[in-house]
Amino acid sequence: MKYIYREHAIARMFERDIFEEDVEDAIENGEIIESYLDDKPYPSYLTLKYCNNKPIHVVFATIQEANETIIITAYYPDKEKWSSDFKKRIRR
């Protein structure tokens, strides 16, 4: 699998001290908690993985025919906006 990091993802990862290894681990071994199947040009997904005991969310899209994964963004979820297990958004 080839990983392609969007400029936005690189900037956010740098700001948030998130490493490529953690992002790729989240994609390969994390739990998909949301699917955005209508996203264009490719469906995208939100995954959750704990890295160094911290939850990380990664948004990515997969281009199956090219065997590529596009990393859109990565962040540490805000506990004010997510459930205690970081799997569900808190609607207000």
Nearest to 76 by CA among 45, 53, 54, 44: 54
Q: What are phi and psi of 91, to 5 degrees?
A: -90, 130
- What is the reported pLDDT for 90? 92
Cα–Cα distance for residue pair 20/5, rounded to 1 Å: 9
- Count of CB atoms situated within 10 Å of the CB of 12: 16
- What is the reported pLDDT for 64? 83
Q: Which residues of the chain have pLDDT under 70?
A: none
- What is the reported pLDDT for 91? 82
Cα–Cα distance for residue pair 80/1, rounded to 1 Å: 34
- What is the reported pLDDT for 42? 92
- What is the reported pLDDT for 1? 84
- Count of CB atoms situated within 10 Å of the CB of 53: 5
